[in-house]
Amino acid sequence: MSMEVHILGTSSARPTRKRQVSGSLIHCDDGIAVIDAGEGFQTRYAEQRKRLKNFEKGTTLRASRIHVVCLTHGHLDHTWGLLPWMHTMALDKRVTPLLLLGPTSKEVFDSLLLTNEIPASAPNAELARQMRIWQSLGATTEDLGYPVRWLLGDVAGDRWLELIPGQKPVEVKEMPQPHGWKKSRIHPVLTRHTVPSCGWMVESKGSPGKFNRLKAAELKLTDAQKSHLSSGKDLELEDGTSLKATDFRGKHRPSTRMVISGDTAEMAEGLASLSDVDVLVHEATFLDDAQQWADEFLHCTSTGAARTAEACSARHLVLTHFSARLKDASVSLNEAIKETSSSDLSVTSASDGDRIIILENGKINHLFWSGDGWSS
């Protein structure tokens, strides 16, 4: 299988002439996960679909294939485009269930469970506030006409509750997975920002190599013998010949891991503790000479993103979420490349419309949008 991320916004805080605010889609075999949906998200989503129709025949991003929205935190440049887009899907007669996930703090989680109230000390950007407002503005199953579930997680404590309109929140045993997903799973990844935050990882299951039916036929094996070997068990024939199950399987396909960080300081515990990440899309708001700002606002520099990528054994790092003050992202890219000069980590910087694909053979391809198609 392959996995692909579409980068629909690469600016931090506010849009610029060439860059819009955060929003991405991860496309896997089971469907599509939206990671953040800043202002104007539905317009950028429609534009990407049009690009694919014009320049990439056979590749689509149908809304019916979008099963989950994963919010990294509550700042509006990551959330403000969600509600209008949800209403547009209702106008388009959507029927597919939609799961919405986001992080909260332990304090807000406990307060919601005990009193159904958001504590006054919670930040203005608390996702619980926004989710309740969105529900009051019609983002419910009843009003939209398609099934919607809103869940908040105390990610550090691995606890999740469901916000049900007009009712007290209900704690669930575990974070639910998107409807119908069997080959892939969504995982929250703890990050460190000025409000409760997390990144998101989409992981596809590994699979054994194909069974060599031709080799089995040449040996004139029975169906029962083929089934025995196919299940991974060695076999001894009546004449004493020993057959190893591994000799009848092609190369094992390992799991595929795609991670999007959201806003975070460098070396966030959840990100740094990961391993064998294929692609890490990580924020790089500031250049090295603005490290003081990165520390103050719990954002990251490009070299900090590179250090985080190396810590989680990422094969490829994609830089995004650039400050509006940054006129040329190549400066950020060069700083990251310099930081990783002694490692095997490859680094690219994203622009709006770019696609990063993990192919079935494991190769990673960053396709850059140029205005008249993609090129690598």
For 66-76, the pLDDT digits (tens) are 999 999 999 99
Would the pLDDT of 43 be above 70? yes
Q: What is the pLDDT of residue 252?
A: 66
Confidence category of residue 206, pLDDT binned at 50, 70, 90: confident
Judge contact between 306 and 340, C-beta under 8 A. yes
DSSP state, residue 216 = H
| CA gap 287, 12 in Å, rounded | 13
Q: What backbone torsions phi and psi does residue 316 show, to the nearest 5 degrees?
A: -145, 135
In three-state secondary structure terms, 32 is: strand
- Return the closest-CA partner of residue 175 out of 147, 204, 201: 201
| CA gap 153, 109 in Å, rounded | 8
The DSSP H or E segment spanning 186 is strand 184-190
Q: Are residues 269 and 130 in the same domain?
A: yes
Q: Are residues 170 and 239 in the same domain?
A: no
- Split into its structural domains, the chain has a count of 2
Residue where a domain terminates, one of 197, 224, 248:
248
Query: What angle do helix axes 41-55 and 82-91 make, rounded to 10 degrees?
Result: 60
Q: Are residues 146 and 263 in the same domain?
A: yes
Q: Are residues 86 and 136 in the same domain?
A: yes
Q: Are residues 308 and 360 in the same domain?
A: yes
Judge contact between 9 and 22, C-beta under 8 A. yes
Q: Where are the alpha helices (DSSP H) in 124-276?
A: 127-136, 141-144, 213-218, 223-230, 269-272
Q: Are residues 103 and 148 in the same domain?
A: yes
Residue reference for tokens 């391993």: 275
Tell me what the mean pLDDT of segment 187-197 comes to.
98
Confidence category of residue 1, pLDDT binned at 50, 70, 90: low
Q: Are residues 225 and 277 in the same domain?
A: no
As a residue count, the chain comes to: 376
Q: Are residues 306 and 346 in the same domain?
A: yes
Tell me what the mean pLDDT of segment 183-204 comes to.
97
Q: Are residues 127 and 218 in the same domain?
A: no
Which amino acid does the sequence have at 1? M
| CA gap 182, 313 in Å, rounded | 26
| CA gap 176, 97 in Å, rounded | 13
CATH of the domain at 371: 3.60.15.10
Would the pLDDT of 260 be above 90? yes
The DSSP H or E segment spanning 367 is strand 364-369
The DSSP H or E segment spanning 41 is helix 41-55
Helix count and strand count (H, E) for the chain? 12, 19
Q: Are residues 240 and 371 in the same domain?
A: no
Model confidence, pTM: 0.90
Q: What backbone torsions phi and psi does residue 297 show, to the nearest 5 degrees?
A: -100, 10
The DSSP H or E segment spanning 98 is strand 98-103
| CA gap 97, 134 in Å, rounded | 17
Q: Are residues 180 and 123 in the same domain?
A: yes
How confident is the model over 345-366, as pLDDT tens digits?
999 999 999 999 999 888 999 9
In three-state secondary structure terms, 126 is: coil
The DSSP H or E segment spanning 109 is helix 106-115
Which residues form the domain of 222?
A: 213-248
Q: Are residues 230 and 162 in the same domain?
A: no
In three-state secondary structure terms, 357 is: strand
- Please indicate whether residue 239 or residue 156 has the higher confidence score (pLDDT): 156
